[in-house]
């Protein structure tokens, strides 16, 4: 059951923040939904799930991406889950770091103690949350997924692991190859344990080879992103897609960094990419 926290009229649609008790994560979760005007007048609409990056909450994309304008015009709902389980009962990074634990769930199901009890963001994002929202809101069950950085990784992995569940996928500056970058190695070694063979099930570059579905993938990457080489590794994604014959449009954007100014600059292209798969073509 969703408890309404706040709502704001936006581009003739409505932005809402909700709280609910997540059985999968075993804690209370906050999320945000943008419903376009079409959803307020009796129609059901498709939903684009946006998975945010390290340290973010539901608020970043809703406030900073400038996505409501075109979502309203197209008739797309936007769904922004939080980036991890939260709360005093949820263990965070033992050193208080921002790249693990709270705000850093990495959209996987943890197998290791003490993380496995709460850190099940994959099942939350792909199972519990869509089921809840499609029951309670005017959504038609057509879904796309996108995200930024850690959430770009999440979008790729959720789509690659769940053929048929999404009709479209894209990402901004995704952590493309988490098994081979410091952020991913830190998170995977704790959430999944030291056996690297178990990491492949959560790594887009590894999943791509045997993916049973090949949704066309749109990725934007800023070339002035400070995390480009060390953490994001778009070349690895490009090589994995080439080897697998996976359709990938990787756009290297000169001068852009890792911020929401970069996302806002290209969000409309992503919304149109999703709308082409999610909406009836006129």
Residue among 64 and 186 whose Cβ is closer to a second copy: 64
Nearer to a second copy, 98 or 261 (CB): 261
Two structure tokens written together for 233: 């590794």
Sequence-separated (6 or more) residues with CB below 8 Å from residue 82: 29, 30, 31, 52, 57, 58
The C-alpha atoms of residue 109 and residue 250 are separated, in whole angstroms, by 28
**Binding footprint of a second copy on the chain (CB under 8 A):** 8-12, 15, 63-64, 66, 68-69, 222, 224, 253, 255-257, 259-262, 264-265, 268
**Catalytic annotation, pick one of 149, 168, 170, 176:** 149
Closer CB to a second copy, 6 or 281, in the complex: 6
- Which among 118, 179, 225, 270 is annotated as catalytic? 225
Of residues 154, 149, 55, the one with CA closest to residue 103: 55
In the bound complex, what is the minimum distance in angstroms from residue 14's beta carbon to a second copy? 8
- Is there a catalytic annotation at residue 258? yes
**E strand spans, 115-258:** 139-147, 168-172, 217-222, 248-253
- CB-nearer residue toward a second copy: 203 or 225: 225
Least spacing, CB of residue 71 vs a second copy, in Å: 12
* Per-residue DSSP letter, 19: E
Q: How far is the CB of 214 from a second copy (least distance, A)?
A: 32
CA atoms of 165 and 161, how far apart (whole Å): 9
The separation between the first and the last C-alpha atoms of the chain, rounded to the nearest angstrom, is 35
Catalytic residue among 68, 148, 177, 258: 258
What is the number of other CB atoms lying within 10 angstroms of the CB of residue 245? 11
Catalytic residues: 149, 225, 258
């Amino acid at each position: 059951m969703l408890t309404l926290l706040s709502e704001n009229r936006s581009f003739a649609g409505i932005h809402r923040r909700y709280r609910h008790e997540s059985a999968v994560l075993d804690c209370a979760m906050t999320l945000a939904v943008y419903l376009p005007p079409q959803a307020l007048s009796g129609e059901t609409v498709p939903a684009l799930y946006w998975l945010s990056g390290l340290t973010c909450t539901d608020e970043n994309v809703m406030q900073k991406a400038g996505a409501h304008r075109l979502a309203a015009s197209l008739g797309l709902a936007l769904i922004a889950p939080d980036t991890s389980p939260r709360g005093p009962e949820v263990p965070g990074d033992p050193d208080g770091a921002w790249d693990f634990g709270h705000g850093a769930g990495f959209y996987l199901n943890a197998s290791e103690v003490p993380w496995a009890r709460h850190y099940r963001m994959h099942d939350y994002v792909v199972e519990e949350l869509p089921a809840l929202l499609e029951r309670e809101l005017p959504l038609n069950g057509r879904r796309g997924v996108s995200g930024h950085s850690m959430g770009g990784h999440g979008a790729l992995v959720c789509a690659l692991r769940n053929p048929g569940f999404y009709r479209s996928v894209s990402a901004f500056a995704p952590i493309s190859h988490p098994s081979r970058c410091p952020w991913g190695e830190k998170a995977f070694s704790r959430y999944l344990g030291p056996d690297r063979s178990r990491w492949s099930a959560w790594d887009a570059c590894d999943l791509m080879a045997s993916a049973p579905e090949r949704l066309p993938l749109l990725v934007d990457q800023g070339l002035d992103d400070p995390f480009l080489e060390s953490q994001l590794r778009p070349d690895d994604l490009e090589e994995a897609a080439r080897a697998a014959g996976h359709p990938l449009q990787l756009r290297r954007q000169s001068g852009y960094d890792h911020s929401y100014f970069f996302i806002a600059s290209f969000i409309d292209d992503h919304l149109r990419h999703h709308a082409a798969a999610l909406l009836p073509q006129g």
